[in-house]
Chains A and B, each alone.
Chain A
Amino acid sequence: MAVPYSCRLVSRRPSGYAPPVAGPRRAAKNQPAANGPRNTEAVAAAGGPSCRGHPDTGTCGAAKADFHSPASEVTPLDAQSPVPGTAAVREIDVDDLVLEDRVHRLLYTSPALFDAEMRRIFERTWVFVGHESEVSQPGDYLSTLVGRQPVILSRHADGSLHVLLNRCMHRGAVVCRAEHGNSTAFRCMYHGWVYDTRGDLIAVPFPGGYGPGFDQAALGLPRAPRIGTYRGFVFASLSPAGPSLEAHLGKAREYLDLILDAAPEGAIAVRSGVERYAYPANWKLQIENLLDGYHPNFTHQIAFEISERRRGVSGRKANSEGSGATARTFGPGHGVLHYSAVNRGYQGRDADQPEYRRLLEERLGKDRASEVLRADIQLFVFPNLFFQSARQHFRVVRPLAVDRTEVYAYPYTLGGAPEAMNRRQVRSLAWWASPAAFGQPDDLEAFVRCQEGLQVTAAEWVLFARGLHRERISADGEVTGDVTDEVPQRGIYREWKRLMHDARG
């Protein structure tokens, strides 16, 4: 049920008093049961349990926001109502922030919520860390982030993969600053402690200075409690408990297969550089945008115009209402834009190379090869991994602060495909996904404008209502809508809410 867009968020009373307004609370009941028991939990500022602050400032103690303000019955969530001495009851209920068809502006502006996102989403769920082909040889390593935490993905001498927290056990310095390389060990530059590629502490200079209680074996680099791979994509979870990677990916594996089966040898390689870009706005603006089939005709009008003039094709029709392309969400926040019905996939570009098609048919059979060649999909794997089959790359969104984000776009090559085809694909990424490209920078302009506009407190909501009335749900729970519908975004925020609910993170 939709809520009038003008309605304001209601603050809850400690007494359980329900304010006499219809609105978001009731609408929220239409949420899938998967959201679990409601859990009103304080989103503390980084300072910890005794230090709860205003979500917009992240300050402690003296912050003047109180979501239980007794002053009025209906209070904007981010109203500034000074109530001295009530620091301990400042709370945000995620149910008040994410409704079926909208999310609150605080999701984009609150440093305290950003901290909570890092703990409850990025430090808990499965996060992509690298592809096996990036660390194919013993001693190969790469460094990256899981949420805000630096990690190393390394291949040990015995061939095993490890995700190590990048932090010397002595004084805390990162032991590896290179983005990637090959080494038998990581030596901390500060006092020379040396760890092997499995994380074991193998040398401590001047060891005589440590007494008998010093347990070198216990001082290896901390490891990600869980690590899993699917078709070479390595994921880590910083939480020892939770669904398996297989369960987390769910149907995303089918879509991933559809993308990766384009490699005649069945495997891709990620060794072709990276496009990096940054923007001064919230990370979720990017993940919302990656599966947003509503914006391209407007944000990318000029790119489409140029593309049509040069190549006779663009995404204009595919991203028009009723084109036959679909937007889908499934599982824990994953989603797909499915263009196979309207675009030509590899068929239009490279399948004209008979050799490529032959190799593919040899491995997959005619039918599956045709399906793969026709496939044109964009896949989002919650919380921050995105694939675009047509531009043969995937992207990783790195949240740095509530209003600061970096994105890494990795081209990949199809194992066994003609070299010229792979090279062309790598080269083509510059046209869309670089900071100087013809596509992506116009999205970044939108994100920056959103971040500015979301400072307005008179309007609190960001709307994801499009197509809510025409969603189709399949037997396996996948929700499908028109390509221009905000189906994937609703999926993202259902999962966001489910994870943010749980205070154990």
Chain B
Amino acid sequence: MPGADRAESAAQPLAPEVAEGAGTPARAEVEALLYREARLLDERRFEEWLALFTPDGRYLIPAGDTEDPEVEPAIADDDHDTLEDRIHRLRSPVTWAQSPPSRTVHVVGGVEVWPGLAPAECRVHATAVVYESRGGQTRSFAARCLYVLRRVEEGDTPWRIALKRVLLVNRDQPLFNLTFLL
């Protein structure tokens, strides 16, 4: 596939040559945030999950290797409002693709932290395997998750998610029902 070469470019924000910056959180702190994020999703505490995002936070699941969802449409391309809508959808009894709802387990690992490209930000790479069970079938999805975290003053978590980008290994394949949160 010609896409194979371009796949690596999707990891651009991870450029490790960027020097350690002041205020980059310790890995343990980031891990705690990601584990909590995973647990909130698995416990269907979606509103608390959304509260981990900054008001301008984005949730992006690309369908290809292009960075820009206006050039190549994404599988999910959500700003804060759209995430609210998505959660509303997950709570509605007439969202047929989630009736019955998916049960999930997010397994998160391989957490690495880099300084961000903007002040008070850091970048995180993690791997995730998501098991999803619904309608008598269990499926698994593997992804590299790229985060941009931003330090905020308020709340008990100083770091919030400004961007979560989920790079599914099979994002170039036709997939069935990804209406749960990855």
Give the B-binding residues of A (Cβ under 8 A): 177-181, 272-280, 299, 301-302, 305-306, 310, 406-408, 411, 423-424, 426-427, 429-431, 433-438, 441-442, 444-446, 448
Which of B3, B74, B89 is close to A430, meaning CB atoms less than 8 Å apart?
Answer: B74
The 6 nearest A-B residue pairs measured at CB: A273-B72, A423-B70, A276-B174, A278-B174, A441-B97, A436-B178
Measured in the bound complex, the distance between the Cα atoms of B3 and A442 in whole Å is: 30
Which of A177, A277, A306, A429 is close to B1, meaning CB atoms less than 8 Å apart?
Answer: A177
Q: Across the interface, do A435 and B175 meet the contact criterion of CB distance under 8 Å?
A: yes
Number of A-B residue pairs at CB separation under 8 A: 115
Q: Across the interface, do B71 and A277 meet the contact criterion of CB distance under 8 Å?
A: no
Measured in the bound complex, the distance between the Cα atoms of B175 and A408 in whole Å is: 11
Measured in the bound complex, the distance between the Cα atoms of B99 and A23 in whole Å is: 38
Task: Say whether B138 faces chain A, with CB atoms less than 8 Å apart.
Answer: no
Q: Across the interface, do B88 and A306 meet the contact criterion of CB distance under 8 Å?
A: yes
Q: Give B83-101 interface residues, CB cut-off 8 Å to A.
A: 85-86, 88-89, 92, 94-97, 99
Q: Across the interface, do A276 and B96 meet the contact criterion of CB distance under 8 Å?
A: no
If the complex has contacts A277-B174, A435-B177, are A310 and B73 also in contact, measured as CB distance less than 8 A? no
Q: Across the interface, do A178 and B2 meet the contact criterion of CB distance under 8 Å?
A: yes
Contacts of A442 in B (CB 8 A): 95-97
Give the A-binding residues of B (Cβ under 8 A): 1-3, 61, 63-64, 66, 69-77, 81-82, 85-86, 88-89, 92, 94-97, 99, 135, 172-179
Q: Across the interface, do B96 and A427 meet the contact criterion of CB distance under 8 Å?
A: no
- A40 nearest CB across to chain B (Å): 37
Q: Across the interface, do B72 and A272 meet the contact criterion of CB distance under 8 Å?
A: yes
- B156 nearest CB across to chain A (Å): 30
8 example contacts (A-B, Cβ-Cβ < 8 A) are as follows A278-B176, A302-B94, A302-B95, A427-B70, A434-B74, A441-B179, A442-B96, A444-B177
Q: Across the interface, do A274 and B2 meet the contact criterion of CB distance under 8 Å?
A: no
Measured in the bound complex, the distance between the Cα atoms of B41 and A414 in whole Å is: 40
Q: Across the interface, do A406 and B73 meet the contact criterion of CB distance under 8 Å?
A: no
Contacts of A272 in B (CB 8 A): 71-73
If the complex has contacts A278-B174, A446-B96, are A427 and B81 also in contact, measured as CB distance less than 8 A? no
Measured in the bound complex, the distance between the Cα atoms of B97 and A276 in whole Å is: 17
Q: Across the interface, do B69 and A427 meet the contact criterion of CB distance under 8 Å?
A: yes
Measured in the bound complex, the distance between the Cα atoms of B64 and A480 in whole Å is: 40
Residue of A with least CB distance to B85: A306
Residue of B with least CB distance to A448: B135
Residue of B with least CB distance to A425: B70
